[in-house]
A and B are shown apart, each in its own frame.
Chain A
Amino acid sequence: MSQQQRVRIMRGREWARPVRPARREVLSALPEVERGRPPLLFVPGFGHGAWAFAEHWLSHAAGRGFPAYALSLRGHGGSEPAPEATLRAYAHDVTQVAAGLPRQAVLVGHGAGALVVRHALARYPARAAVLVAPVLGDWATLGTALRRNPGGTLPALVGGGLRLSRRQLFSRELPDAEARRYAARLGRAGRRAQWQLLTHHDPEPAVGDPPVLVLGSPDDRVVPPATLTRAARRHGGAPLLFPGMGHDLMLDARWQEPIDAILDWLEKEHP
């Protein structure tokens, strides 16, 4: 599908109104010896910050030889507050950090961060992209969210903050204390960006047509399995599934399986 859309060359509005710079938090874990593997840039979803990847995935990826970075989108984690942020500003944050890395990077987006990554791919030629439990802003995902978490979702529809509950994010395998600790760290995305989850235009074609991997859990209580399948099919594949896990695959009890699958795939794509 990404092949069929046309590249947009004239970007008058973007040139005339550049995104304002914002201080961005970037956390990283680097391998002890440089093995020529592409750097990974993890992009957290709405409400999450770089910390979510610093818990396990960054050091695990570095341990397997991949330089690993995670950023906090503006208004999240340790980045500058940005209540009026738009999807475009988030994608700008991603391309800024990616272009600042020493080599061409692999973008890994989680949740709504996957949508941000899809927009960033139209402005930066990633080596590859990975969409983890992607919230791509379709109505099915909204339906699921309303059903599973009406109290957290309804306010978002009238301009309030989207709140994800602990039970949507983690499986029961994760000790309750940890789940509470993580849930307490969640923030919220900008109001406008939240709305744009539903109203945004389809992302433009990805520069350089990079390979894209989609993965998630059939038991994710935010992203319905049909959405995973659709997202993967768009990129000509099937999703990798990790049954029994919650939406936050990078924090859940069995966090190692999905990251190992991602790294295995990358090693095959870029031997």
Chain B
Amino acid sequence: MSPSTDPGRPEPDATTLAPPGDARPVSDRGDTVCVIGAGASGLTAVKNLREHGFGVDCYERETGIGGAWNWRHDRSPVYASTHLISSRPFTQFPDFPMPDDWPDYPHHSQLLSYFERYADHFDLRQHIWFGTEVIRVEPVDGDRWDVTTRSTGGYGPERISRYAAVVVANGHNWSPKLPHYEGLEEFRGEIMHASSYKDPAQLRGKRVLMVGAGNTGCDIAVEAAQQASRCWHSTRRGYWYAPKYVFGRPADQVNDSLIALRVPLRVRQWLYHWTLRLTVGDLTRFGLPRPDHRVYETHPIVNSQLVYYVGHGQITPVPDVARFHAKAVELTDGREIDPELVVFATGYLPRFEFLDPRVLGDTDGSGRPRLWLNAFAPGHPTLAVAGLVQPDSGIFPLSHWQTVLFARLLALRLRRPDRAAAFAQRVAAGVGERYSGRVKDSSRHWFEVGHADYLRAVQRAMDELEEK
């Protein structure tokens, strides 16, 4: 058993409701709040709800905490070499600092140990049911929720528990997005999604085609440059490859010095372009396409090594894939290449299978919930989603403040129902609001947020909620 495996908690002493005519027994958990997932967002939800006096039941389908950052989990998307892209101050929880002698960009194993310490420090494991999957969440009268759970893997009976509120913290980087290509079934080579890439040994000596230039695609392309016999990197547009350090400091810290001075986005973009031109230089010289957008209009790539290997001829930039043949891949410029292994680093899609999509405002089945602050659904004042943000910085401080705001809202529902009602109106009016500058339309960008715009919006929401 892994060290973070928990034997589970005692059975709750709840009264069982058996409404006449309904066969399903429901165990009433009173004022307790349900948290779905014990990744970073779920853990901070448990901690902040407890801090505001709420009882919490957290369900986690894996046997340990840490979500994506626990590489023991089958669905963990991290690979052996994963290091953070957001530097420490932007990544740590605002009230639980990472050790200051850690590097600027810690390794994934350090991140897991940080979450383990967070869980132990605040004694969170006693509230978590491990190996338990949430399969259904349904609203019932009185803004309460029926949550159906069962052992992960579908064994054992289903249980229904009724909660006063629910925090959905199920993560958005575990369900791979695999694009469809003509001829893919005929292709004789090996194909995989980046989610099953763990170790550079998987690339050693092979001719590799990388598809996609998110941070995953760029990290793996660099490893392919070092390990594979050949590496083509296919992107459907040009990007800005930002280095991890500028002027000797983590690049995000330099950017936030400007944000703190309230330098407008346009000026920051201009300064960034200028800095990149002076340092990284003109990338079209290497055969990389010119970006079709300004910096910050696609999710930032933070990678100092990619351009270096392109310059060494160890990564060959190529355009989008047009179709597959049995022994070749045809590109949109008509060229054919002959990789043995194709790695799709085409990202992930958020999924909320346990919820009727309409609850999250996804009325057209597009898979894109429509919420306020990416967290609150109109008509459901006791529901919050935590971590459904793709920030240009660390995600954990955002999840922290989302759950603090929700905990305070729940507390005010009892003490100041007028305030809670005003908040509900705000949710209805603000649904679908965006917290970033313009971004390219892409399955990964509809929940892209600028951390400063986003946190300022949370600050305003908190101030309005608690105004005297």
Contacts and interface: CB of A to CB of B under 8 A. Distances in A.
A100 B96 CA distance: 9
B205 to A, nearest CB: 42
Contacts of A95: 97
Interface stretch (B66-74, B279-287, B437-445, B455-463): B455-463
A270 interface: no
Contacts of A103: 120-121, 123
Looking at chain B, what size class is its interface with the partner chain? Answer: 20 to 34
Contact of B96 (A8, A16, A124): A124
Given A92-B100, A95-B97, A123-B94, A18 B89 contact: yes
A2 interface: no
Contacts of A157: none
Contacts of A208: 51
A16 B456 contact: no
Interface string B129-151: 00000000000000000000000
B41 to A, nearest CB: 17
A41 B410 CA distance: 32
A6 B95 contact: no
Given A9-B462, A12-B256, A208-B51, A102 B97 contact: no
Contact of B260 (A12, A20, A101, A125): A12
Interface centre among A6, A16, A100 (most CB of B within 10 A): A16
Contact of B100 (A8, A21, A104, A125): A21
A1 interface: no
Contacts of B463: 6
Interface string B240-259: 00000000000011101101
A7 B257 contact: no
A19 interface: yes
Interface in A8-41: 8-21
A13 B256 CA distance: 7
A4 B468 contact: yes
A16 B100 contact: no
A13 B89 CA distance: 11
B232 interface: no
Nearest to A103: B121
Nearest to B122: A104
A125 B97 contact: no
Contact of A15 (B90, B123, B401): B90
A18 B100 CA distance: 9
B11 interface: no
A226 interface: no
A96 interface: yes
Given A9-B455, A9-B458, A100 B99 contact: yes
Q: Is the interface of B mostly helix, strand, loop or mixed?
A: helix
B121 A17 contact: no
B121 A102 contact: yes
B101 interface: yes
A21 B94 contact: no
B182 interface: no
B466 interface: yes
Contacts of A7: 404, 459, 462
A113 B257 CA distance: 30
A16 B257 contact: yes
A207 interface: yes
B455 A10 contact: yes
A102 B120 contact: yes
A99 interface: yes
Contacts of A92: 97, 100
A9 B51 CA distance: 17
Given A6-B463, A10-B459, A21-B100, A15 B253 contact: yes
A16 B99 contact: no
A96 B97 contact: yes
A143 B51 CA distance: 39
A96 B100 contact: yes
Most buried by B among A13, A18, A101: A18
A123 B95 contact: yes
Interface string B27-69: 0000000000000000000000001000000000000000000
Contact of B95 (A14, A18, A125): A125
Interface string A31-70: 0000000000000000000000000000000000000000
Interface in B385-411: 401, 404
Contacts of A15: 89-90, 252-253, 256
B452 interface: yes
Interface string A89-122: 0001001100111111000000000000000000
A21 B89 CA distance: 13
Nearest to A7: B462
Most buried by A among B97, B117, B456, B468: B97
B99 to A, nearest CB: 7
Which 8 A-B residue pairs are closest in the complex by CB-CB distance?
A12-B260, A21-B100, A16-B257, A15-B89, A16-B256, A9-B459, A208-B51, A207-B95
5 contacts: A7-B404, A9-B459, A10-B459, A16-B259, A18-B89
Given A18-B253, A125-B95, 8 more contacts: A6-B463, A10-B455, A16-B257, A17-B253, A18-B89, A19-B100, A104-B123, A208-B51
